[in-house]
């Protein structure tokens, strides 16, 4: 991409994605700079999850360009060749991107510590000792060192999501993608997860966050993108997009979810 900047961690230009005849992403232009907390808001079904999944190579795209750091995602994988090509996305490159899902997605048969260290041991081939040291440091960071030996079923939703965040940052990724990380939580557990995310923002972690927590986006976001109908309808600072929306669709959406 000609105007790609060296501080761009993610940059997409004209990104399109269809599922059969259903056009989900219709030419998305979006950039996330290093150390930026970038929030994606928009109605259900507008393509937010698909967008994140493209960044993480969980989904192919049809046209446009998508760069993650210096890597053109899917350069050779269009259409039929996707599944084959997907195998070639090396595990190490995948480890450069952390992802946190709505439904925690922890391994149920592993302890909190094992969940956090699994990738370090299996993908990065760290020794148990090295991985455990790092795992404990991360659990401590999310306030769960004392629950290292607990299984997911023994943890609250908020605790499980904090373990999932510790797991996502274990391999020191260059960006973390959050897909509605608090949407599946009971309201009283949302705060503890947002607190961990707030710490990450303060530490300068680069992140893309899909969320309906508008107040949180306003508080910690550097950039907010409003996605509507498969396009970025409006981008800017939280003050611009949330408090002074230029588009009627943005204000309508915000009024509905507040
Ligand atoms: P959002 O996260 O903004 O709610 P999604 O990206 O999940 O939106 O979905 C956008 C649209 O794409 C929806 O209409 C959804 O039904 C459709 N979609 C998502 N994933 C698939 C898939 N694997 N196959 C077919 N359609 C899909
Ligand atoms: Mg979604």
What digits encode the pLDDT tens for the residues 214-230? Answer: 999 999 999 999 999 99
pLDDT at 1 over 70: no
Q: Is the CB of 49 within 6 Å of ligand 1?
A: yes
Beta bridge partners of 31: 11
Domain assignment present for residue 93? The answer is no
Q: Which value does ipTM take for this structure?
A: 0.98
How far apart, in whole angstroms, are the C-alpha atoms of residue 145 and residue 71?
36
Domain assignment present for residue 122? The answer is yes
- The whole domain housing 153 covers 105-173
Domain assignment present for residue 73? The answer is no
Ligand 1, atom 20, residue with closest C-alpha: 50
Domain assignment present for residue 41? The answer is no
Q: Is the CB of 250 within 6 Å of ligand 1?
A: no
What is the band of 134 on the pLDDT scale with cuts at 50, 70, 90? very high
Closest CA to 160 of 205, 103, 201: 103
Domains of the chain: total: 1
For 32, list phi and psi in degrees, rounded to 5. -120, 120
Mutation test of ligand 1: which of 15, 18, 19 has the most ligand atoms closer than 8 Å to its C-beta? 19
pLDDT at 76 over 90: no
Domain assignment present for residue 99? The answer is no
What is the band of 43 on the pLDDT scale with cuts at 50, 70, 90? very high
DSSP assigned state of 155: S
Domain assignment present for residue 163? The answer is yes
CB atoms < 10 A from the CB of 71, how many? 13
DSSP assigned state of 245: -
Domain assignment present for residue 150? The answer is yes
- Give the pLDDT score at 123: 83
Which tens digit of pLDDT belongs to each residue from 151-203?
999 999 999 999 999 999 999 999 999 999 999 999 999 999 999 999 999 99
Average pLDDT for 94-123:
92
- The size of the chain, in residues, is 258
Radius of gyration of the chain (CA): 18
DSSP assigned state of 48: H
Q: Residue 162 is encoded by which pair of tokens?
A: 């904090």
Distance from Cα 46 to the centre of ligand 2, integer Å: 8
- Give the pLDDT score at 166: 98
Pairing assessment for the beta strands 223-228 and 175-179 based on DSSP bridges: unpaired
How far apart, in whole angstroms, are the C-alpha atoms of residue 258 and residue 212?
9
Average pLDDT for 204-210:
98
> How many percent of the chain have pLDDT more than 70?
92
Q: Is the CB of 149 within 6 Å of ligand 1?
A: no
Average pLDDT for 8-29:
96
Domain assignment present for residue 16? The answer is no
- Prediction pTM value: 0.93
The per-residue pLDDT of the chain, averaged, comes to 91
How far apart, in whole angstroms, are the C-alpha atoms of residue 205 and residue 203?
6
């Amino acid at each position: 991409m000609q105007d790609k900047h060296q501080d761009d961690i993610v940059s997409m230009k004209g990104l399109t994605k269809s599922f059969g005849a259903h056009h989900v992403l219709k030419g998305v232009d979006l950039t996330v700079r290093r150390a930026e907390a970038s929030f994606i808001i928009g109605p259900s079904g507008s393509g937010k999850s698909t967008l994140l999944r493209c960044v993480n190579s969980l989904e192919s795209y049809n046209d446009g360009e998508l760069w993650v750091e210096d890597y053109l995602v899917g350069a050779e994988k269009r259409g039929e060749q996707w599944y084959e090509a997907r195998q070639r996305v090396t595990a190490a490159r995948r480890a450069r991107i952390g992802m946190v899902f709505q439904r925690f997605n922890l391994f149920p048969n592993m302890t909190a510590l094992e969940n956090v260290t699994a990738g370090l041991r299996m993908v990065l081939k760290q020794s148990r000792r090295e991985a455990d040291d790092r795992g404990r440091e991360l659990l401590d960071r999310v306030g769960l060192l004392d629950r290292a030996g607990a299984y997911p079923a023994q943890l609250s939703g908020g605790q499980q999501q904090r373990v999932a965040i510790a797991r996502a940052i274990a391999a020191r990724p260059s960006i973390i993608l959050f897909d509605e990380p608090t949407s599946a939580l009971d309201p009283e557990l949302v705060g503890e997860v947002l607190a961990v995310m707030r710490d990450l923002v303060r530490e300068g972690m680069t992140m893309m966050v899909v969320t309906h927590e508008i107040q949180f986006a306003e508080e910690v976001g550097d950039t907010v993108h409003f996605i509507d109908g498969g396009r970025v309808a409006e981008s800017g600072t939280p003050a611009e997009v949330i408090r002074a929306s230029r588009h009627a669709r943005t204000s309508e959406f915000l009024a509905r979810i507040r």
